[in-house]
Amino acid sequence: MKSASGFAAPGARQGSALNVAAVRADFPILKDSVHGRPLVYLDNAATTQKPRAVTDAVTDFYAHGNSNVHRGVHWLSQQATERYEAARASVQTFLGARSPEEIVFVRGATEGINLVAQTYGRARVGPGDEVLITAMEHHSNIVPWQMLCEERGAMLRVAPINDSGELAVNEFARLLSPKTRLAAITHMSNALGTINPVAQLVETAHARGVPVLVDGAQAAAHLSVDVSALDCDFYVFSGHKVYGPTGIGALYGKAAHLAAMPPYQGGGDMILDVSFERTIYNKAPFKFEAGTPHISGAIGLAAAIDYIGRWGKNAIAEHETALTRYALEKLAGIDGLRFIGTARERTSVVSFVLEGIHPHDIGTVLDQEGIAIRTGHHCAQPIMSRFGVPATARASLAMYNTRDEIDALAAALRAVVRMFNR
């Protein structure tokens, strides 16, 4: 069976209810206590917890298979290379790419965006040109384009969002001009939970001859992704947000783009031949992976993808969407609570403020109850400015979260209100 994202899912139960109790049993940290209270982990947009399948895969590699890849003729090196390249194939299937050669391993979505900006972007963008982003981007999909525009004498244009946190699609289309050399858009906002109509945006941009990079750091864990169907030019995501290790992620790029792009870094393994007179570079994706890669990270990422496939992307999405609705209903009745971001198409992220109470105070009190949420600007300061707040409190959900945990969050927030308003 295959999930809607196109990746193989042995034993997956597509379309059926997710067995959350069984899922939770796979995550040892969820049995821990914090300040003497059961851990309620609601900071999944920052990073997800790791199932035993992932930690076991990483441990097994270091305990029994550790070796460098691509270089050795001995058995261990060959085995490590096979596992590393099998991980690339897993990512290819997970994203719906046409070939493993379209998948570049990077440290995460941030490095993937910087790679595109400093190679593809630098070759395309010149004085007077424009790069188009949206007002709901993470800093990682703002700053690299600012740096590129400053270096090349170009202009960064920003498509606005409305009071619900939805992209003004017509304005996005209007801002695409003959000067636009690239558009970079988030698939799902980390601060609002908004899901953008990416397929429509890509089609609109391509009709004007504008290539599109999609930041999938949040979306990859929650939505079915098929880059071939989306027809985007680039797609990035981070392993640690899809239950995998930190320090690993992937960049998808259309084969023709990757073939034409110059290397991002120089060193070993990205070359075919080196002399003091000249260097001949390796083909994609290897020319973008200089030095010893994060081998265990790639293996752990493949284990995470397999784990998601075991439960089924549809079942996970249905559970998370229902839980998001429940959270919105449960928190709506709390005195002084205002949601930041009320888009119709959304999932997994619930951002809010409490009147007269700083988000950091909310997070500190909740921590004493064992409840982990995120407070601050979430690396999305322009969004905070758009809604006139310095920061928000953010509860973000994953496949292992439950209604009982939402009930605990709501009860703790009511206690916060009483504490600060007595």
Q: Is the pLDDT of residue 207 over 60?
A: yes
- Tokens linked to 262: 């110059």
With respect to residue 422, please indicate whether it lies within any of the assigned structural domains: no
Q: Is the pLDDT of residue 234 over 90?
A: yes
Examine the domain organization and report whether 233 and 117 are in the same domain.
yes
With respect to residue 67, please indicate whether it lies within any of the assigned structural domains: yes
| Final residue before a domain boundary, out of 309, 333, 366 | 309
Give the model's pLDDT for residue 71.
83
Q: What average pLDDT does the segment 130-156 reach? A: 98
- DSSP type of residue 28: G
Give the model's pLDDT for residue 325.
97
Examine the domain organization and report whether 201 and 348 are in the same domain.
no
Examine the domain organization and report whether 304 and 321 are in the same domain.
no
CA 259 to chain CA centroid, nearest Å: 25
Give the model's pLDDT for residue 334.
97
State the Cα angle at 217 between 213 and 48, rounded to 5°. 170
Report the CATH number at residue 394: 3.90.1150.10
CA–CA gap between residue 243 and residue 48 (Å, rounded): 5
With respect to residue 251, please indicate whether it lies within any of the assigned structural domains: yes
Q: Is the pLDDT of residue 181 over 90?
A: yes
With respect to residue 370, please indicate whether it lies within any of the assigned structural domains: yes
CA–CA gap between residue 300 and residue 54 (Å, rounded): 5
Closest to 266 in 3D by CA, of 250, 249, 278, 248: 278
| Final residue before a domain boundary, out of 260, 290, 309 | 309
Q: Which helix (H) or strand (E) holds 317?
A: helix 313-332
Q: Is the pLDDT of residue 351 over 60?
A: yes
Q: What average pLDDT does the segment 376-397 reach? A: 97
Examine the domain organization and report whether 339 and 218 are in the same domain.
no
With respect to residue 10, please indicate whether it lies within any of the assigned structural domains: no
Examine the domain organization and report whether 320 and 367 are in the same domain.
yes
Give the model's pLDDT for residue 421.
86
Q: Where are the alpha helices (DSSP H) in 101-213?
A: 109-116, 122-124, 143-152, 169-175, 198-207
With respect to residue 4, please indicate whether it lies within any of the assigned structural domains: no
Q: What average pLDDT does the segment 231-258 reach? A: 98
Report the CATH number at residue 99: 3.40.640.10
Domain that holds residue 101: 55-309
Per-chain mean pLDDT for the chain? 95
CA–CA gap between residue 178 and residue 174 (Å, rounded): 11
With respect to residue 277, please indicate whether it lies within any of the assigned structural domains: yes
Q: For residues 96 and 227, is the Cβ–Cβ distance under 8 A?
A: yes
Q: Is the pLDDT of residue 13 over 60?
A: no
CA 10 to chain CA centroid, nearest Å: 24
CA–CA gap between residue 399 and residue 277 (Å, rounded): 54
CA–CA gap between residue 9 and residue 2 (Å, rounded): 5
Q: Which of 46, 379, 389, 411 is catalytic?
A: 379
Examine the domain organization and report whether 291 and 322 are in the same domain.
no
How many structural domains compose the chain?
Answer: 2
| Final residue before a domain boundary, out of 309, 328, 357 | 309
Contacts for 388 with CB less than 8 Å, ≥ 6 apart: none
CA–CA gap between residue 373 and residue 361 (Å, rounded): 12
Active site residue 149: no
Question: How many percent of the chain have pLDDT more than 90?
Answer: 95
CA–CA gap between residue 9 and residue 338 (Å, rounded): 39
- pLDDT bin (cut points 50, 70, 90) of residue 16 is low
From residue 273, give the alpha-carbon distance in Å to each of 98, 263, 283, 286: 28, 14, 12, 13
With respect to residue 9, please indicate whether it lies within any of the assigned structural domains: no
Q: Is the pLDDT of residue 296 over 90?
A: yes
- DSSP type of residue 119: I
Give the model's pLDDT for residue 6.
30
Question: How many percent of the chain have pLDDT more than 70?
Answer: 96
Give the model's pLDDT for residue 89.
98
